[in-house]
Structure 1
Amino acid sequence: MINLLVIDDEKEVGTFLSHLFSMKGYKVEVVNSSSEFFQLDLSRQSFQIAMIDLRLPDCDGLSLLQHLKKHQPHCKALIMTGYSTVKTAVEAIKLGASDYIEKPFDDINLLETQVEQLLSTSVPSSQAFIQSLANEAGLVVGKNHAMNKLIDATFKVSQKNVNVLIEGETGTGKEVLSRFIHLASPRSHESFIGVNCGAISESLLESELFGHEKGAFTGATQQRKGLFEIASNGTLFLDEIADASQAIQVKLLRVLETREFMRVGSVQTLRTNARVVAASNENLQQAVLQKKFREDLFYRLNVVHLEIPPLRDRKEDIPLLVNHLIQRNGYTSVNFTDGAYEKLQNYDWPGNIRELANVVTRTLTLTDDENTEITADEIILSAVAAPLKGKSSSEQTISIPKDPLEQWRETLVKEFEQSDKINLDDILLQVKQLESLIGRELVLQALQKTYGNRTEAARCLQISMRKLRYILNEKTNTTHT
């Protein structure tokens, strides 16, 4: 017989649930307060499923959930919540709850189905199934406790139609985790579409997200659907959401609040059912405090908050990650020695998994075809030092290259020594060339430091993306000259 525990301070709800599930053959125990709950002897009385109201007059439902899971970890928990506390219900899922349902129960059949699914062994929630989804998404879970806890929580919230905010340093795998969310959700058969909000201009991003009508602006030669329309029943991944302009943030807020939007140049209202997964390598809460990000949009996106640990905090997973990268590069017969792994694990990886992938790819590319064993001496780590302790990568100082300055100074001194005259126009031309050279070197250093992330490089140099592109184009012109 199935033992069901109901924890709800509303006696009418307890009576209703007791009657409903007793008729299905369950043995139902109803408690109306935390004091009644703590009188239960959980060491002798076991439950297969518990229905817990989050709001109790004398206790927080989350505390009861944690106490129950501590004594009976295999008991499935269904959280009962009002609409205004859905975010708290999602937090309950992270603490071990299996699912949640909103009160009042408008659909009794849905309630019965949820309970039956939780009790059914056919519900795909095994570690093997989660691992298969992770493999399909290209996600290496590894042995790290924090990472495994993150994946378990991510799998649970993937089943629910709620927005998700993923935060983590550059290169930790936020897009890969978003793909895992999509594959683990009921939307897995629909489209997964991603866009980097910091990689394109405001006007282009608006058109990309919402679409445009023919003639809406110069170059709009035909009607185009936006991503909210294309991914209407799927998942829309908004990467680097912190870089979205204030105008775009306002439009995103409206879509999330009303599920309605208009194409650029249109007055027709369209609807979308896209699930939004947003990602940021910045702390959005800090961005809100700094007035860089809208607070109301933050709360709309942050229904579920997931944070990916940096690679330096999960170094025990480096061998698994390296093996995955070796397989991905097609080098099935190549192995890394213990010394090679030790060298990789002694590095702090400021660029996280993206940097590790670059190092492994570079090492494999430079190795001899006959070499099947990679040693520590063959691994070339980044020339950029790991971030100083206590400072973020954006706080590091980029040093101006000394060689061009020293070379120019020596040339100028030599000219003064050899002649009483000097051509000022030539000197000014040299200064201009030196300016271009230093600008180019600084951009290249910034790109190396941010592992190719142009948005981060521009922010580090405190210049616009247009200026960064201009300097890079200048490099090409100088080379040809």
Structure 2
Amino acid sequence: MTNILIVDDDREVGNFLNYFLKEKGLNVYMAYSGKDFCELFEKQSYQLALIDVKLPDTSGLDILKNITEKMPACKTIVMTGYSTVKVAVDAIKLGANDFIEKPFDDLDALEMTIDQLLANKVTTAESDIQELARTSGIITGKSDTMNRLLALAYKIAPKNINVLIEGETGTGKELFANFLHYASQRNGQPFIGINCGALSESLLESELFGHEKGAFTGASKERRGVFELAGKGTLFLDEVGEASMSTQVKLLRVLETGEFMRVGGETVQKTNTRIVAATHVDLTEAVKNRAFREDLLYRLDVVKLVIPPLRERREDIPLIANHLLNKAEEKIQLSEEAAELMQQYDWPGNVRELSNVIKRTLTIMDEGSSMISPRHLPVNIRTGKLLLIEKAKPTEATFEEYLKKWTDDMLDVWRAEEKVEMEMILNKVKDLEREIGRAFVLKVLKETIGDRQDAAKRLNISMRKLRYLLNEKGQPSVK
């Protein structure tokens, strides 16, 4: 007989689960407190435990730890309300197999979750995770951090909650958003992404919410925004921290009510879109600097996934490089010496920079070559140094040194007797432009004793442009 343990101080919920599970032929034991749990837990073993996170005399997380340590074969499901979803995510990190939200609106989903756990389909789940990761373009192998992150993303994907993805430029935030979409019940619906930092305020609002004919100059016809186009699917808001305060207010209203109006419209539109937002900046710091709304952050950051930079999972670098080679349909391998050099490099542009290096390497290789050796790699990787981007962002004190190093390294490339990918060079020039912009902003901010409005006026730029230069332009440009 399969033994199920339910730990919940709400007797109405307990009675419902008791009846629901006994109808499935399961043997159910009820604990309404931590004391009840201790008494029942000592008497026998259990195959599944459903645990409420809030109990009158103890924490559901403490009970979860107890079960995980003393009865690891017992599967666990944490029960939570919307306001305690973050606690449920902590429970997943502590070893819970899943979490469900109360009230139980979808009994079929609840039954399926219980059946899968009792059938011990953990191996199947791991197989699904790897398949979905490959479909999304995420390549990971030996990195425990990435594997744990994917497992967490897989468990929260079916839940109707918003997700915030943080990570440096080029770490693959959009790929993780795709993974969440494919692993969710919305996978048959549209997935639409939009970069909030790439559009002006007026254009961004039009892209998000749509506009009516004649709403502004050039609006020759009615147009639906991405909230309408996504429908019941997933909307990926990349670089959400770059949205203006006005746009943030409107985003907050959509998240709170599910309603919005087109630009120039008077009719209220409704949406059931799931939001996955991403940023390379620390939004908590942005809130402190009054550059981002705290209430909007609260709505977006129901669950946070932080993607590690490539330098923190060096063991995956050869695997990713070989995947990119296979994707290019080239019968070329990575030599051990080249792989070792690539693992020693810090990759400030992360996976996107690695992808660009592979493309460049394939371009300069001689026809008929089948092995990438160290001589095929860029100068900065061969020498173990950054080519045009220092690990630390240039400050006013080091700006002249940065310019000198940029010039010296560019001259090294100019003098090198090897083919050079012009697109890479132009990207490095853009890097210099970004660093110069940021350095001048910092210089003027020092002169104005931190007065951003005065600094923007002296530089003849908008406040949004100033924030953009500070928050993004100091980052590596490789994307």
TM-score category (smaller protein): 0.7 to 0.9
Q: Does structure 1 residue 336 correspond to structure 2 residue 334?
A: yes
Q: Secondary structure at the match of 2:192?
A: strand
Q: TM-score, normalised by structure 1?
A: 0.80
Q: Secondary structure at the match of 1:59?
A: coil
Aligned-partner Cα distance in 2 for 1:106–1:196: 34
Equivalent runs, 1:133-282 vs 2, <5 Å: 133-282=132-281
| 1:423 corresponds to | none
SS of structure 2 residue aligned to 1:194: strand
Alpha-carbon offset, residue 80 of structure 1: 1.9
Q: In structure 1, the residue corresponding to 2:77 is in which secondary structure?
A: strand
TM superposition score normalised by structure 2 = 0.80
Contact 2:388 2:428 in 1 (8 A): no
Q: Residue 367 of structure 1: CA displacement?
A: 0.6
Q: Does 1:34 align with 2:34?
A: yes
Deviations 1:122-163 (A, max 9, x none): 799522211111111111022111111000000110111110
Q: Deviations over 1:7-50 (max 9, x none)?
A: 112345434433442343211122222234344557x8432221
Amino acid at match of 1:336: L
CA drift at 1:387:
4.1
Identity across aligned pairs (percent)? 50
Q: 1:401: Cα distance to partner?
A: 4.8
Equivalent residue of 1:46, what SS?
A: coil
Q: Single out whichever of 57-66 and 31-40 deviates more from structure 2.
A: 31-40
Q: Which residue of 2 aligns with 1:369?
A: 367
Instruction: Give yes or no for the alignment of 1:447 onto 2:450.
Output: no
Number of aligned residues: 424
Larger Rg: 1
Aligned to 1:4, what secondary structure does the other structure show? strand
Q: Helix, strand or coil for the counterpart of 1:273?
A: coil
Q: Does 1:89 align with 2:88?
A: yes
- Give 5+ residue unaligned stretches, structure 2: 381-385, 408-425, 442-458, 467-479
SS of the equivalent of 1:126 reads helix
Report deviation, 1:73.
Answer: 3.7
Letter in structure 2 aligned against 1:18:
N
- Cα distance in 2 for residues equivalent to 1:361 and 1:209: 34
Pairing 1:345–2:343 present:
yes
Aligned 8 A contact 1:446 1:457 in 2: no
1:360-399, aligned counterparts within 5 Å?
Answer: 360-382=358-380, 384=387, 387-388=390-391, 391=392, 397-399=398-400
Aligned to 2:309: 310
Query: Hey, what's the Cα distance between the residues in 2 that align with 1:218 and 1:53?
Result: 55
CA contact (8 A) 1:199 1:455 kept: no
Distance change in 2, residues 1:215/1:397 (3 Å)? farther
Q: CA deviation at 1:444?
A: 6.7
Gaps of at least 5 residues in structure 1 are 406-442, 469-481
1:90 CA displacement: 3.3
Q: What secondary structure does 1:249 align onto?
A: helix
Distance in 2 (alpha carbons) for counterparts of 1:209 and 1:136: 27
Distance 2:172 2:144 in 1: 17
**Residue type at the aligned position of 2:80:** T
Distance, in Å, in 1 between the alignment partners of 2:388 and 2:71 is: 48
**Quick one: structure 1 residues 16 and 221, their matched pair in 2 at CA, closer, same or farther if it must change by over 3 Å?**
closer
Q: CA deviation at 1:91?
A: 3.2
| Structure 2 counterpart of 1:448, one-letter code | D
Contact 2:31 2:40 (8 Å CA) reproduced: no
Specify the alignment match of 2:477 in structure 1.
Answer: none
- Note the 1:60-71 alignment, pairs <5 A: 60-71=59-70
CA deviation after TM superposition for structure 1 residue 259, in Å: 0.5
CA 1:188/1:13 → structure 2, altered by over 3 Å: closer, same or farther? closer
Distance 1:378 1:105, change over 3 A: closer
Per-residue CA distance 1:233-280 (angstroms, 9 max, x = gap): 111000011111001100100000000011111000010111110000
SS at match of 2:5: strand
Is contact 2:79–2:102 with CA below 8 Å preserved after alignment? yes
CA-CA distance at 1:203 after TM superposition: 0.4
TM-superposed CA distance for 1:116, in Å, is: 3.2
Q: Which residue of 2 aligns with 1:21?
A: 21
Deviation per CA, 1:434-472: give whole Å up to 9, x if none: xxxxxxxxx9756336xxxx888855664869999xxxx
1:164 aligned partner, one-letter code: V
Cα distance between partner residues in 2 of 1:64 and 1:188: 34
